[in-house]
Amino acid sequence: MTEQTNYTIYKDEEEHSITITPLNETLPNGDIYLTGVFKLTEGEVGLGDIVFDDNMKQWEYTGMGYLNHVDAAEIAGFIQVKNANDENDISEV
């Protein structure tokens, strides 16, 4: 996943629009290096980061804001699916 995206989560019967921003690096040759770090925000409020291992399997949440582990797991699952779909789209080109 290289582009910022939004994800809606429902918590305490309220809708929250979470912005997921991948923190990627551009290499000197212009290629994008996927770091596996995703910054979560709601509006101007930072909610912490979800950090994946190299295989996008294991993750941890830095735990800032009102999200709990279950909420973070839901968002991490979304990121994993989105990342897998993005890889499939690239390989089909």
Among the listed residues 63, 89, 88, the one whose alpha carbon sits nearest the alpha carbon of residue 71: 63
* Per-residue pLDDT tens over the stretch 7-16: 999 988 999 9
> Has residue 92 got a pLDDT over 50?
no
Percent of the chain with pLDDT over 70: 92
Rounded to whole angstroms, how far apart are CA atoms 89 and 84?
Answer: 9
On whether the CB atoms of residues 64 and 82 are closer than 8 A, the answer is no
Average pLDDT over residues 13-31: 94
* Per-residue pLDDT tens over the stretch 68-81: 999 999 999 999 99
